[in-house]
Amino acid sequence: MATTTPSRRGVPDRTSKVRSGAGAGTGTGRRRGPGLRRDRLSVQNGPGWLFSTPFLVLFLTFMAVPIIATFLMSFTEFELRNVADPFSAEFIGLENYTRLFEDEKFLTSLFNTFYFVVLGVPLTVGAGLFAAVLLNRGVGRMRTVFRVGFYAPVVTSIVAVAVVWRFVLDPADGLISGLASEVGLKSPDFLGSNVLAMPSLIVMAVWRNLGTAMVLFLAGLQGIPTEVREAARLDGAGIWQEFRSITVPLLRPTMLYVSVMTTIGFLNVFEEPFVMTEGGPDNSTLTVSLDMYKEGFSYFHMGYASSMAYVLFTIILAVTLLQLRLLKDKTK
């Protein structure tokens, strides 16, 4: 998930005005009107191009070329033996794609990914919003401590996180089993059970990612003018009413951004199952990305893995467009 500055949608108008002005660079060419293409490459635009070259070079080399290469690869039977001579890969049309939908394992991974998203995203967004609202008004002095506390998991290495969570979830001497045995209960083997492994990973992912959502919501909350809240309170709104009728509607742009980004991140889920379960037990935590990784890097079915990547890409695109539509800001 992106941890960069929120888009303009997520922050109040004042800053967005400042920002759009600051984005000079190539923008100057546009103001002079479209029309002449030569104009863009003229001397005045030289510095702009110069400044963007590092990005463009990196982008083209490490993103654009590979994106195109994998797209082409997804129509071939690219295997280990083709690595030395990529053009020898046999073109097989849509076969990779048709095979995918007969691949029991891929369908399982697709199901697991949706399971993860459907439960994980609302929980993350909800928990993030809850934490943000509390932090925005509830706690006074300890605010920074809490913010750091909630945000720390986002920037902690997954390996360290995995070690800690294993201690928490360990059926023999973990934290939960310890607490359970205190009260005379027996804790299940969370990561070893087909049924509980995925929910356990979801809980972990929610904990890990709610920090990002929280920070974004905090920014959004601070952008809600106090006058509106005061007016509502004068009109006799309670906490709940204020939350429902003021906070939520005015947070809509932030909400859109947070849920789109969280959904994209969750659809790509890889790390959690990779470090905690390797997709097991019995493929119950195998996600599309993990399956793709295994096919591509363990077995070198690069063509097949590429087609998986494009199926996932299409799904992400569709889900994102759907979200943009459903959560569109209707107040404007």
Encoded tokens for 129 = 């919003």
| Least distance to another protein, CB of residue 189, Å | 6
Nearest to 308 by CA among 80, 83, 103: 103
CA distance 31 to 148: 43
Per CB under 8 A, 191 contacts another protein? yes
Residue 308 in the binding site for another protein (CB under 8 A): no
CB neighbours of 97 closer than 8 A, spacing ≥ 6? 74, 307, 311
Please enumerate in sequence order all residues whose Cβ is within 8 A of that of 4, keeping only pairs 6 or more positions apart, or say none: none
**What minimum distance in Å lies between the beta carbon of 171 and another protein?**
9
Min separation Cβ 106 and another protein, Å: 14
Which of positions 37-96 make contact with another protein (CB under 8 A)?
Answer: 61-63, 65-67, 69-70, 73, 80-81, 83-86
Nearest distance from residue 158's CB to another protein, in Å? 8
Which 243-302 residues touch another protein, going by CB under 8 A? 265-266, 268-272, 275-278, 280-283, 289, 293-294, 296-300, 302
Q: Which is nearer to another protein, 216 or 221 (CB)?
A: 216
Q: Answer yes or no whether residue 5 interacts with another protein by CB under 8 A.
A: no
Name which of 11 and 267 has its Cβ closer to another protein.
Answer: 267
Q: Smallest distance from the beta carbon of 152 to another protein, in angstroms?
A: 15
**Residues 144-183 vs another protein: string with x where CB under 8 A?**
----------------------x-----x-----------
DSSP 33-92: -SS-HHHHTSGGGHHHHHHHHHHHHHHIIIIIHHHHHHHHHTTB---GGGSSSGGGSPB-
CA distances, 77 to each of 97, 113, 277, 305 (Å)? 11, 26, 29, 10
Backbone angles phi, psi at 94, to 5 degrees: -90, 10
Query: Considering beta carbons, is residue 199 or 281 the nearer one to another protein?
Result: 281
Rounded to 5°, the CA angle 190-194-195 comes to: 75
The C-alpha angle with vertex 273 and arms to 277 and 168, in degrees rounded to 5, equals 65
Interaxial angle between packed helices 104-133 and 252-267, expressed in degrees from 0 to 180 and rounded to the nearest 10: 150
Closer of 237 and 316 to another protein (Cβ): 316
Of 108, 113, 209, 263, the one binding another protein by CB under 8 A: 209
- The count of residues interacting with another protein (CB under 8 A) is 52
Q: How far is the CB of 297 from another protein (least distance, A)?
A: 6
Cα(283)–Cα(309) distance, rounded to whole angstroms? 19
Residue placing its CB nearer to another protein in the complex, 23 or 54? 54
Question: Smallest distance, Å, CB 8 to another protein?
Answer: 22
Helix %, strand %, coil % of the chain (to 5): 75, 0, 25
How far is Cα 124 from Cα 208, in angstroms, rounded to an integer?
9
Binding to another protein in span 104-123, by CB under 8 A: none
Which positions touch another protein (CB under 8 A)?
1, 3, 61-63, 65-67, 69-70, 73, 80-81, 83-86, 166, 172, 189, 191-194, 205, 209, 265-266, 268-272, 275-278, 280-283, 289, 293-294, 296-300, 302, 305, 309
